Amino acid sequence: MVTYQDIARHAGVSTATVSRVLSGVGGAVSDDLAQRVRDSADALGYRSNRAARALRRNTSDTIALIFPDVEQPFYATIARQVEERAASRGRPTVLCNTDEDLEREQDYIALMIEERVAGVVLAPSSEDVATVFPLLEAGIPVIAVDRRLDGDPVSSILTDNRAGAYELVADLLRHGHRRIAAITGTTVATPSRERLEGCRGAIAEVDGAELIVGEGKLRDAVGVENTMDLAGRLTAELLSSWADPPTALFCGNAVITQGVLRALRASRRRVPRDVAVVGFDDQPMFELLTPPLTVAAQPAEEIGARAADELFEHITDPGHAPAVTILPPELRFRASCGGRHRRRARDPQPEETREGSAGSAPATRQRHQ
Amino acid sequence: MVTYQDIARHAGVSTATVSRVLSGVGGAVSDDLAQRVRDSADALGYRSNRAARALRRNTSDTIALIFPDVEQPFYATIARQVEERAASRGRPTVLCNTDEDLEREQDYIALMIEERVAGVVLAPSSEDVATVFPLLEAGIPVIAVDRRLDGDPVSSILTDNRAGAYELVADLLRHGHRRIAAITGTTVATPSRERLEGCRGAIAEVDGAELIVGEGKLRDAVGVENTMDLAGRLTAELLSSWADPPTALFCGNAVITQGVLRALRASRRRVPRDVAVVGFDDQPMFELLTPPLTVAAQPAEEIGARAADELFEHITDPGHAPAVTILPPELRFRASCGGRHRRRARDPQPEETREGSAGSAPATRQRHQ
DNA sequence: CTGAAAGCGCTTACAG
DNA sequence: CTGAAAGCGCTTACAG
């Protein structure tokens, strides 16, 4: 193993000079010496030792991702964006999946502190600020994505969940639906809470409209397959065990949507004839279903890109003030709520797609002092 | 910051004893002292410093994932499995996306060596063994997934690509198709190469059958959206620019399948009436399409689980011999190749699903010395 | 601009 | 079983 010692001897300089040249910090070095150091490093086949650097600097270059589950495409996209930006700066990215388990979240946070990571992109499983205390205490910058924390102690970047859910339910109401069931995940975290608020807001504006909330039942959902199954089971219950079953379903995210659609297929129910369906989150295949699904698409790439950019700003400037960024979802009205877009499956027509943005475009940004 | 020094003073022992107790290695310690050390560590709120440990041991606990793209569900599933198993051992997992770019792959490997990672799970972008030389030279265990390297210098875990592709194309042939186009990604890596071989094998058994290979055009595909677009464009070309266009399409993976289906929808082509489609890889939504899609599903979870288990064995026992594990895909014959399963879209019936395993179940395992 | 030297927090022969 | 002490490969005041 080649060390600074070896390079210093080879180039006839001190290890301090080697460090200044190869790490790029600690002051200027004359062009002459710098070149000699680089040549010696190349000649000897030097490879840096990041552990030694991290020990000395008391921080690594690593960026941590703490998410519920990278198997969910929404988080995979964010992970991809952050990782790409970190890599371009020579920073490794660590991946942690919490499955919405608060204890695992705490364990991962402790582990990341032991790793002295340079920063964390976190989709917290609750809005309890205590979650991030250890990180803030350790002086590690945190950006929340998809979710926020009480009082917004750190920057958050998320979709306008209320607006997206409101528009989806409003579309169901416009199509005449009055009994609408919302199937969402754990309501402890931001998305379910805000999306339900959006649903309720739309419902409240129409006389006789009613929202059936299938919340909570998915609280123990772990993993994509399991979540789909639980969503499907809940769907079956809702549609069969009520004297007056809902005529439309609001699905809280893409995984739930898939579980719901699978359950409807299994019980031979047709969309939208038997029951209308709208969903938060889009997926490439949702457009190819018969009928195509009406959804609110989240700007996942932009959330990831902004999270990375903002995290690097906080790393560079620890005094950087936290801000909450709320990005508008893209409403994609297709044919799954019935009426307007309905057509015979055997006679496909080009689908009308009304695309629009909900919420105050392009983004709401709140600065905190 | 609390260090071993502080704990040693507090407990009235040496730092060597503290290390033996808290790291669990370096020899036995009397119960009495051990308890005092643990109590002191708790009392002082000790947090370990993994950089210091890594520097001293000359290896970190970290497991590295080097994949084309975690946005592809297949890799996300593997990442999830490995990460989960690493976490249960207190090991962080680093995520690297190469986009099949050989230079980025080399850069990531160099970075992982700088990190002194404990092991690597790699889906190499080529079969060139030179890829893993630096890792092997650095004494870092490597497991290849989804792909192999020439001469199999390291353990590999992958699907029986030939068998899966063979069965899919054989089903198309059984349905009377004779001009079949294969749309695959880069052919430098194992999956495309082996899947094409499987296609050719089935074609060769039927007189007058012909395989049109749409390979290579997707070589520069970067990212999920871009790959879908390129696959779609290639589909449009194949179906329109030929005097005698193919009547069936073999899609090399789930991303390509989605791009192909999107292009068929855009050009108002119906499956299987206008063109039959089969795909390697399954997705929850593929079953809900009209008609449901015939696919060869990969055991992604098992690949990830086995990769993790085998990697830990190599870390524990550096002499562990490399082995190639080939897992059978699950053939899911649905209705997208026409005939048998065809039904009117407005009159859904429970679909017949013939599930079977191709290849020599349960797994082929070759030991190398 | 450059170097000598201390030290980051651990681990590990070595001696007892 | 336990401790004194060296040292892993860097970085960084400090002095010149």
Could you please report the per-residue DSSP string of A169-197?
A: HHHHHHTT--EEEEE-S-SSSHHHHHHHH
* Confidence bin at B348 (pLDDT 50/70/90): very low
Average pLDDT rounded to a whole number, residues A98-120: 96
- A26 CA to C2 C1' in angstroms comes to 12
- What CATH number does domain A161-297+329-339+350-359 carry, 3.90.780.10, 3.90.550.10, 3.40.50.2300, 3.40.470.10? 3.40.50.2300
* Confidence bin at B219 (pLDDT 50/70/90): confident
CATH superfamily of this structure's domain B63-159+301-327: Response regulator (3.40.50.2300)
Q: Closest nucleotide to A29's CA, by C1' atom?
A: C1
According to the model, what pLDDT value does residue A243 have? 78
* Confidence bin at B337 (pLDDT 50/70/90): confident
According to the model, what pLDDT value does residue B104 have? 96
- Looking at the DSSP bridge assignments, the partners of residue A179 are A210
According to the model, what pLDDT value does residue A109 have? 98
Q: Quick check: A66 and A121 in contact, CB under 8 A?
A: yes
Suggest the residue from B229, B271, B285 to mutate for an interface test with chain A (most A CBs closer than 10 A).
Answer: B285
Annotate A111-131 with b (16+ C-beta within 10 A) or e (fewer). Answer: bbbbbbbbbbbbbbbbbeeeb
One DSSP character per residue, B165-220 reads HHHHHHHHHHTT--EEEEE-S-SSSHHHHHHHHHHHHHHHTSTT-EEEE--STTTT
Least confident of A75-84, A225-234, B353-362: B353-362
Q: Closest nucleotide to A49's CA, by C1' atom?
A: D9
Q: How far is A311 from chain B (nearest CA, A)?
A: 18
* Distance in angstroms (rounded) separating the CA atoms of residues B350 and A279: 25
According to the model, what pLDDT value does residue B215 have? 66
Task: Answer with the residue of higher pLDDT: A172 or B240.
Answer: A172
Residue B353 pLDDT > 50: no
Residue A346 pLDDT > 50: no
- B15 CA to D6 C1' in angstroms comes to 13
Residue A266 pLDDT > 50: yes
Give residues lining strand C (CB < 7 Å): A 12-17, 20, 27-30, 32-34, 52, 55-56, 58; B 1, 3-4, 15-16, 18-20, 22-23, 25-26, 46-49, 52-53, 55-57
Mean predicted lDDT score pLDDT of chain A = 89
According to the model, what pLDDT value does residue B322 have? 95
Q: Quick check: A185 and A221 in contact, CB under 8 A?
A: yes
Suggest the residue from A91, A135, A226, A288 to mutate for an interface test with chain B (most B CBs closer than 10 A).
Answer: A288
- A44 CA to C6 C1' in angstroms comes to 27
- Cβ pair A49:B55 closer than 8 A: yes
Average pLDDT rounded to a whole number, residues B192-207: 95
Structure tokens, B29 = 């310690």
B contacts of A96 (beta carbons < 8 Å): 83, 87, 92-93
Structure tokens, A274 = 């038997």
- Give the residue whose CA sits closest to D3 at C1': B14
**Could you check whether A4-48 and A63-159+301-327 share the same CATH topology?**
no
Give residues lining strand D (CB < 7 Å): A 1, 3-4, 15-16, 18-20, 22-23, 25-26, 46-49, 52-53, 55-57; B 12-17, 20, 27-30, 32-34, 52, 55-56, 58
Residue A341 pLDDT > 80: no
Residue among A114, A116, A98 nearest A106 (CA): A98
Residue A47 pLDDT > 50: yes
* Confidence bin at A241 (pLDDT 50/70/90): confident
> What does residue B216 show for φ and ψ, rounded to 5 degrees?
80, -40
Which stretches within A241-359 are classed as H helix?
254-266, 300-316
- Looking at the DSSP bridge assignments, the partners of residue A323 are A367
Give CA separation, A227 vs A255, A256, B243, in Å. 7, 7, 48
In this complex, which of A55, A76, A265 lies closest to B70 when CB atoms are compared?
A76
B contacts of A268 (beta carbons < 8 Å): 348, 350
Query: Per-residue pLDDT tens for A126-140?
Result: 999 999 999 999 999
One DSSP character per residue, A79-122 reads HHHHHHHHHHTT--EEEEE-TT-HHHHHHHHHHHHHTT-SEEEE
B contacts of A48 (beta carbons < 8 Å): 114
Residue with tokens 């200027």, as numbered in its chain: A28
- B242 CA to C12 C1' in angstroms comes to 72
- Cβ pair B288:A265 closer than 8 A: yes
According to the model, what pLDDT value does residue B169 have? 96
- A19 CA to C3 C1' in angstroms comes to 12
Residue A281 pLDDT > 90: yes
* Distance in angstroms (rounded) separating the CA atoms of residues A169 and B192: 44
- Cβ pair B345:A348 closer than 8 A: no
Average pLDDT rounded to a whole number, residues B246-268: 94
- Cβ pair A108:B87 closer than 8 A: yes
B contacts of A69 (beta carbons < 8 Å): 80
A contacts of B47 (beta carbons < 8 Å): 110, 113-114
Residue A1 pLDDT > 70: yes
- Cβ pair B71:A76 closer than 8 A: yes
> What does residue B200 show for φ and ψ, rounded to 5 degrees?
-60, -40
* Confidence bin at A342 (pLDDT 50/70/90): very low
**CB-contacted nucleotides of strand D (7 Å):** 1-13
> What does residue B122 show for φ and ψ, rounded to 5 degrees?
-125, 130
Residue B163 pLDDT > 60: yes
Residue A305 pLDDT > 90: yes
Query: Per-residue pLDDT tens for B18-60?
Result: 999 999 887 888 999 999 999 999 999 999 999 999 999 999 9
Average pLDDT rounded to a whole number, residues A276-289: 95
According to the model, what pLDDT value does residue B346 have? 37
- B44 CA to C11 C1' in angstroms comes to 21
Residue B101 gets which letter from DSSP?
Answer: -
According to the model, what pLDDT value does residue B336 have? 76
Query: Per-residue pLDDT tens for A252-263?
Result: 999 999 999 999
B contacts of A256 (beta carbons < 8 Å): none
Number of A to B CB contacts under 8 A, please give it: 158
Least confident of A18-27, A166-175, A195-204: A18-27
The predicted model scores a pTM of 0.91
- B145 CA to C16 C1' in angstroms comes to 51
According to the model, what pLDDT value does residue B339 have? 61
Q: Quick check: A249 and A169 in contact, CB under 8 A?
A: no
Average pLDDT rounded to a whole number, residues A177-198: 90
Q: Closest nucleotide to B114's CA, by C1' atom?
A: D9
CB atoms within 10 A of CB B28: 8
Residue among A311, A168, A293, A67 nearest B285 (CA): A293
- B316 CA to D1 C1' in angstroms comes to 26
* Distance in angstroms (rounded) separating the CA atoms of residues A96 and B319: 30
- Cβ pair A47:B113 closer than 8 A: yes
CATH 3.40.50.1820 fits B161-297+330-342, yes or no: no
Residue with tokens 């992109």, as numbered in its chain: A121
Suggest the residue from A114, A257, A271 to mutate for an interface test with chain B (most B CBs closer than 10 A).
Answer: A114
Least confident of A116-130, B91-105, B174-188, B302-316: B174-188
C-alpha atoms less than 13 angstroms from C-alpha of A175 in its C-beta half-sphere: 28
Average pLDDT rounded to a whole number, residues A332-356: 52
Domain-by-domain residue ranges, chain A?
4-48, 63-159+301-327, 161-297+329-339+350-359
Residue B67 gets which letter from DSSP?
Answer: E
Query: Per-residue pLDDT tens for A322-335?
Result: 999 999 999 999 98
Q: Closest nucleotide to B30's CA, by C1' atom?
A: D1
C-alpha atoms less than 13 angstroms from C-alpha of A181 in its C-beta half-sphere: 24
In this complex, which of B77, B262, B350 lies closest to A288 when CB atoms are compared?
B262
> What does residue B288 show for φ and ψ, rounded to 5 degrees?
-100, 0
Residue among B196, B148, B159, B75 nearest B328 (CA): B159
Omega before B299 within 30 of 0, i.e. cis: no
Topology (CATH) of B4-48: 434 Repressor (Amino-terminal Domain) (1.10.260)
Q: How far is B353 from chain A (nearest CA, A)?
A: 13
Residue A359 pLDDT > 80: no
According to the model, what pLDDT value does residue B127 have? 94
* Confidence bin at B241 (pLDDT 50/70/90): confident
Least confident of A213-227, A271-285, B92-106, B228-242: A213-227
Average pLDDT rounded to a whole number, residues A83-105: 96
Helix (H) or strand (E) holding A56: helix A50-57
B contacts of A83 (beta carbons < 8 Å): 70, 95-97
Q: Quick check: B200 and B170 in contact, CB under 8 A?
A: no
Residue among A301, A328, A363, A321 nearest A82 (CA): A301
- Cβ pair B284:A93 closer than 8 A: no
Q: Quick check: B89 and A153 in contact, CB under 8 A?
A: no
